[in-house]
Amino acid sequence: MIKTTVFWEKYFKELKAIDSINILFIGKDPYPKGPNGIPFCKDNIEDLRKPNCSGKYLLYSLGINVDKEIRSPLDIFFDLLKRNKIGFINASYFPFKKKERTNKKIEYSESLNSQLFGKSKQIIVAKSAIEILKKYKNYEELKDNIIEVYHPDHRNSINQHKIVRDDWNAIYSKFNGLNILLEKKINLK
């Protein structure tokens, strides 16, 4: 049903095993080319360093400059999980095509992900993933715990809409931008 990788299976097993998750970041669906199962993660550092790689900007917002990294992307993402309890999942584990979307695919993705929601302190969702999450049976219970952000796609930094540009730049163009945003949101509660 779902194409998995050994890394994804190990990663997801670890996600399920840890007692709490500090930040659970939810992307929309697998990369269209060469997905490894982990949103925003590439298999090699050269791909992650490319200017059009969303993962580059997301990691920068978490305080990791991939241009200076010597670790593999898989090691970076696994270290974020093990050391910082920051996890990455997709709202759907199947490429999102509205006409092909079936309830079984949504139910399958929800069955995997729902076991992580209750133990997540912060759930950050790329706005593009919200339409999928709204199809989850438990979305109503989940929605108040979600912080929506624009996708780290670099094209959002030059989006025609000022609010998209400003939000993108506030989070992804700053070293630790996502951490700073979370601290502000926590202090406002």
23: β partners: 86, 122
Whole-number average pLDDT of the chain: 88
Q: For residue 126, which phi and psi values (nearest 5 degrees)?
A: -65, 130
pLDDT exceeds 90 at position 180: no
pLDDT higher than threshold 80 for residue 139: yes
Print burial letters for 123-152: b (CB count within 10 Å at least 16), e (below 16): bbbbebbbebbebbeeeeebeeebebbbbb
pTM for the full predicted model? 0.90
Per-residue pLDDT of 1-44, as tens digits, reads 345 578 888 999 999 999 999 999 999 887 667 678 889 999 89
- State the Cα–Cα distance between residues 99 and 82, nearest whole angstrom: 38
Convert 48-69 to b/e letters by CB count within 10 Å (16 or more is b).
bbeeebbbbbbbbbbebebeee
Give 116 or 104, the one with higher predicted confidence.
116
Tokens 């049903």 identify what position?
A: 1
